Amino acid sequence: MKIAIVNDLPMAVEALRRVLALRPEHHVVWVAENGAEAVQRCAELRPDLILMDLLMPAMDGVEATRRIMSATPCAILLVTADMGANTSRIFEAMGHGALDVVDAPAIGNGDPRTGAAAVLAKIEIIARLIGDRRPSTATGGAEVATEPGARRPERLVAIGASAGGPAALATLLRGLPADFPVAIVIVQHVDEQFAAGMAHWLSQHSALPVELAREGDRPSPGRVLLAATNDHLRLVSRERLAYTRAPQSYVYRPSVDVFFHSACTLWRGEVVGVLLTGMGRDGAHGLKALRDKGHYTIAQDQASSAVYGMPKAAVAMDAAVDVLPIEAIAAQLCNVLSTQIEPGGSP
């Protein structure tokens, strides 16, 4: 991969160079000392991946991410020495299209392999995302028998998002009323160490409580559940959630497709599928399965998407009943869920 480094500390740059040198397939194509320089260098030579620091003079990593994703979009991995203290900045940058975040490797003259594993693992995942080498179809995994005599569940809004998702989700949830009478489950591509922080951050933008989905949880009206681990979240009965490592080959963890397919198969009530901004194709096949079964589906439009990958794939396979700007999706959810939706079409 052609990789760029954006960091104002020479020792931090050297630490990253030493990490990348452990993989001969990675090449550093340029280094920028601040966000402003990174925007200019990216316009001159767009890399496959940028390792972006958050805190820099002249222009920080959040604003640099916003400008790069607007003008010359490419994959961005945030690299920071203190993730806990920069949670809000991390989600802001991810809202602009950054794909993921990782702890900065240790600075010093020791073994470069110390602390390198996490960085290299994230780079490998992003390399697979860029190459999109996932299977062409997805399934929800082995089905578990439904519970005898289980009550008919409430309606469900199933939402999938990736790069750019935090900001899109905040906008969507902000538009829903506190008495929204439908269960909501969100699968966002985010490392599990940030899931709790993201649930808290989203709660600040939402009249509805946002909580981490726990093993055995039941989606219920007026409650937003967020996938909490790097394993896949899915329904294992008509109304019970669980986590599964399979399929292990999926680069998308947790996978939107896995959850959408499980909802399509096991949820007995009405489902509305929503696929938001993100790189790759995850969720497109699951959204198509929901529409083919007669459920209403929405894909975010290109103009409002930070990264028009996942919704674009869904639109290409006619998986979306409606393609809407993020600002209009909440109102549409309120509209369609107050009426009877005709199978395969708009209300």
Task: Give catalytic residues, as residue numbers.
Answer: 162, 189, 282
Q: Which amino acid is at 273?
A: G
Q: Which residues contact 123 (CB under 8 A, 6 or more apart)?
A: 1, 3, 23, 26, 49, 77
Is the bond into 254 cis (omega within 30 degrees of 0)?
A: yes
Torsion sign (Cα): 124, 130, 133, 138: positive
Residue 155 in contact with residue 183, Cβ under 8 Å? Answer: yes
Question: What CA–CA distance (Å, rounded) separates 140 from 322?
Answer: 24
Question: What CA–CA distance (Å, rounded) separates 20 from 74?
Answer: 18
